[in-house]
Structure formats: C-alpha cells, structure tokens
C-alpha cells in the first residue's frame, strides 16, 4: 500500500465501475439528483440525523471548506501540531476561511492532549481582535501516525 495524497492514484475498480455506471444518461445538477439524495440519505442513516453532503474533489478542499463553514476571519481553529491540515495543506484552510488561524496543539501519538487543548483555548479567551477567537477544533481520524481517537477521547 502507498499512503500518500488522496489524489495521487487511481480509484479502486469498484469505485471506477460505480462512477462509470452513474455517469450514464442525465441527472439534475447542484446536489438535486437521485444519486445525491441517496448519498445524503445513507449518511443521515449512518449519523442518525439529517445531514447535508457537499462533494469536493480533494481532501484539501474538504478540510478547508469544512473549516470555512464554522470558522471565520479573526478566528482560531485548533488541531494537532502535526496534523495534515496544519502541515500539508499549503495555506488553503487559512485562505478559504478568509483568515482563520490554525493553532497546533501537542499530544502523544498524533492525538490532541485534552489538557493542552484546554490551555490553548484559554490563551484566546476572552476573545480579542488582537489575538483571535476560539472557533473550532479539527481532528484527524486516523492521525498522521496511524493512531485513532476512541469515542471517549473525542
């Protein structure tokens, strides 16, 4: 196996076959097709609540746009110091959020330490235009070193 960027290699044959099958004919655009609805229904079942699905081409787009949906300019988003979003996105999260700052938090084995996170958040309270406002925590699952958070840790 080669673990690298999500856009370095081809798709699994079952995925390619499914894409080919669903690319036949016509479908409405902008998230209104039967396939879009089926995907949203499936994710709603998995998460046991109604969700919206927004398809993007890369992990960088997914990470950046997800942060942009909850964090704004002048805000601070916390992540592990070695997280992909912090080290390997080439400034895309900061750009697409309109200037949200990523703040790396330490922790063993690629997981954010809860006490370190509390201390980091405390650095930005009370909110000030001079140092930003705590807005989001982004978690990598699985981490950059292959570990995973338990439900209790999350």
To the nearest 10°, report the CA torsion of 79, 125, 70, 99: -80
Q: Which two tokens stand for residue 44?
A: 């709603």
Give the DSSP H/E element, type plus range, for residue 133: strand 133-137
| pLDDT for residue 6 | 65
| pLDDT for residue 58 | 86
| pLDDT for residue 83 | 93
Could you tell me the pLDDT band of residue 76, with boundaries at 50, 70 and 90?
very high
- Over range 82-95, report the average pLDDT: 90
| pLDDT for residue 11 | 84
pTM of the model: 0.79
- Our count of domains for the chain comes to 2
Q: 3-state DSSP call for residue 132?
A: strand
Of 15, 40, 57, which marks where a domain is finished? 57
Q: Which two tokens stand for residue 19?
A: 């894409």
| pLDDT for residue 45 | 97
Domain match, 47 and 105 both: no
Domain match, 91 and 131 both: yes
- Over range 13-33, report the average pLDDT: 90
Looking at the predicted structure, is the pLDDT value of residue 3 above 70?
A: no
Residue 138 burial by CB count (10 A; 0-12/13-18/19+): exposed, middle or buried? buried
Residue with tokens 């044959």: 13
Structural domain boundaries, residue 44: 28-57
Q: How many percent of the chain have pLDDT more than 90?
A: 51
Domain match, 38 and 89 both: no
Q: Which two tokens stand for residue 148?
A: 């995973």
- Contact (Cβ atoms closer than 8 angstroms) between residue 107 and residue 76: no
């Amino acid at each position: 196996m080669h673990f690298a960027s999500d856009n370095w290699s081809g798709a699994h044959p079952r995925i390619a076959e499914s894409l080919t099958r669903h690319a036949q004919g016509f479908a409405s655009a902008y998230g209104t097709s039967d396939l879009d609805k089926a995907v949203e229904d499936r994710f709603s079942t998995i998460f046991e609540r109604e969700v919206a699905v927004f398809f993007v081409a890369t992990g960088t787009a997914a990470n950046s746009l997800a942060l942009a949906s909850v964090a704004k300019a002048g805000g601070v988003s916390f992540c592990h110091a070695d997280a992909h979003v912090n080290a390997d996105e080439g400034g895309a999260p900061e750009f697409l959020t309109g200037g949200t700052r990523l703040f790396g938090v330490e922790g063993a084995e690629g997981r954010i330490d809860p006490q370190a996170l509390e201390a980091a958040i405390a650095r930005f309270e009370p909110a000030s235009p001079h140092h930003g406002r705590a807005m989001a925590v982004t978690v990598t699952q699985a981490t950059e070193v292959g570990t995973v958070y338990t439900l209790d840790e999350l």
